[in-house]
Structures are given as C-alpha cells and as structure tokens.
Amino acid sequence: MDWLIPDGLFAEHALVAVVAALATALVVLVHYEGVQWLAKRYSGRAVARATDRRAMLKIIFALLGLHIVEIWCFGLAYWGLLHVPDVGFVHGEHGSDNLFDAIYLSATTYTTLGIGDLAPVGAVRLVSGMEALTGFLMITWSASFTYLEMSRLWTDEQRR
C-alpha cells in the first residue's frame, strides 16, 4: 500500500484525513448557520434608505467575522496536528512553532493567496488542500449572499 501512503504511516495519514474532514465540516456548518442567521435578520425586513447602509455594513462585517472564525478552525487543526509525531511539518523561515504561524498559514491557504513563505510538508498537506477548496467556496458563498442582499435593497429602493 506504499503507492498510496508511505509504509508505517497509515495511522498518521488517517488522523490527518479525519481532522481535515472534521475541520471542513465545522467550517461549512459555521458558515451555513451564520449566513442563515444573517438572511433571517436582514432579508425579511422592510427597506429603509437610512438603515440600508448600516445593514449592509453589518452584513459585511459579520461575514468577515465568520471567515475569521473559519480560518481559526483550520489554524487550530494545523497547530494540533503539527504536535503529533510523523504527520508532517511546516517548512519556512520560522516553521510553524506557534499558534500565530498556524493561523497565518491558514489565512493564506483559506484565501487561496498562498504566499509560500510557509508550506506544509507530509500528511498535513491534505488539510491545506481541503482548506483552499473550502475557503474558496465559503468566500464565493459570502459574495453571492452579499450580491443577493444588495440587489434586493437596490431593487426595492428603485421602486420607491
């Protein structure tokens, strides 16, 4: 089975796969609940010019807050996994010795920015692949939601 997973490292790779799946599921759930809450709070209300700007700003800041929580979810997954022997390490000038580095790696991966000054090596790479895909989906989901809310507000405003 060494064509799939290096000999003797099945448990470590399985752990990384489970953690990646759990972090991804948690992030999707957090985002779904957050966007659903925002939709209930803002989509059904009457449109008023004075409050529309504040409502959109609240939506944007709430979405940014959701993304920060989601980045932390993956960052904590990296940080925890990097303390497990044989799951891999982070290559870079400073490596990933502390939580801040793990959050930074998570932020650059989640946003698909991928600066490259920190790079996961070993099984932990699976987390970065799942995070990039999940982050891209969550960011586009937020953009779609924002577009729908803005178009609803602008359409209702034009009818007045």
d(CA 35, CA 63): 8
Nearest to 78 by CA among 93, 66, 88, 67: 88
For 71-88, the pLDDT digits (tens) are: 999 999 999 999 999 999
Q: For the stretch 20-55, what's the b/e string if a residue is b when 16 or more beta carbons lie within 10 angstroms of its beta carbon?
A: beebbebbeebbeebbeebeeebeeeeeeeeebeeb
DSSP 84-122: STTS-EEEESSTT-SHHHHHHHHHHHHTT---SSEEEES
Tell me if 70 sits within 8 A of 27, measured CB to CB: yes
Contact of 82 with 121, CB cutoff 8 Å: no
User: CATH fold of 55-160, please?
Assistant: Helix Hairpins (1.10.287)
The H or E element that residue 48 is part of is: none
| Mean pLDDT across the chain | 89
Question: Which pLDDT tens digit goes with each residue over 121-154?
Answer: 999 999 999 999 999 999 999 999 999 988 887 7
Q: What pLDDT sits at residue 93?
A: 76
User: Has residue 56 got a pLDDT over 80?
Assistant: yes
The answer to whether the beta carbons of residues 93 and 70 sit under 8 Å apart is no
